[in-house]
Amino acid sequence: MPFSIDRRRFLEQCGLLAVGAAGGLLLPGWFVASERADAQDKPPLHDAEEQLKKLKLELPAVQKSSNPLAPAVRAGDLLFVSGHVPGPIDGKPSVGKLGQDVDVKQGQAAARDIALRTLGVVRAELGSLNKVVRLVKVLGMVNCTPDFKQQPAVINGFSELMIEVFGEQAGKGARSAVGMAGLPGGVPVEIESIFQVKSA
């Protein structure tokens, strides 16, 4: 007995299969895009500005520089912050070499001061620290003797403050801590950083 096919019904079913297949391919990408958009729109779970107040920290004013560089440059959702050095600590210029005339504790204090200066630049660029999504990358440079081996401990002064302000998840970024034979002005530490920021 010949096999009979209802052509109209067959075409309808093929159309439904095609729509289902397309939906299966496109919907996951749509959900991912929606989740990303929602993440951008939601207020931060960790209020960095409020945390700064709780820690009773004041950010230094951003000084205009005559140097041919920008304190920070934004490219898309990334904010690249120039290398910053510490200002005077306890009224004294922050200069010296780790392993020679600056100890680890003093180096950490210098790195923490740089963190405050970096946050000041970030706020000046964005208007609020709550527009930071997360810290992405840190390059810490330590002016030290050839046999000094505690560069990471020095840069912890910067990293620990970032975690205090932005929280464990957003404040902990990828990091390098390296020794240098010298740094501008004889400072003990210089640190540059990259932040992911909200698109709006």
Q: What is the pLDDT of residue 199?
A: 84
For residue range 150-177, what is the model confidence (pLDDT) as tens digits? 999 999 999 999 999 999 999 999 999 9
Q: Which residues contact 130 (CB under 8 A, 6 or more apart)?
A: 43, 44, 47, 48, 49
CB atoms within 10 A of CB 46: 16
Name the residue ranges covered by the structural domains of the chain: 7-42, 48-197
Supply 9's token pair. 């019904």
Supply 20's token pair. 């289902």
CB atoms within 10 A of CB 98: 25
pLDDT surpasses 90 at 35? no
pLDDT surpasses 90 at 142? yes
CATH architecture of 48-197: 2-Layer Sandwich (3.30)
pTM: 0.77
For residue range 46-68, what is the model confidence (pLDDT) as tens digits? 799 999 999 999 999 898 777 89
More confident residue, 25 or 195: 195
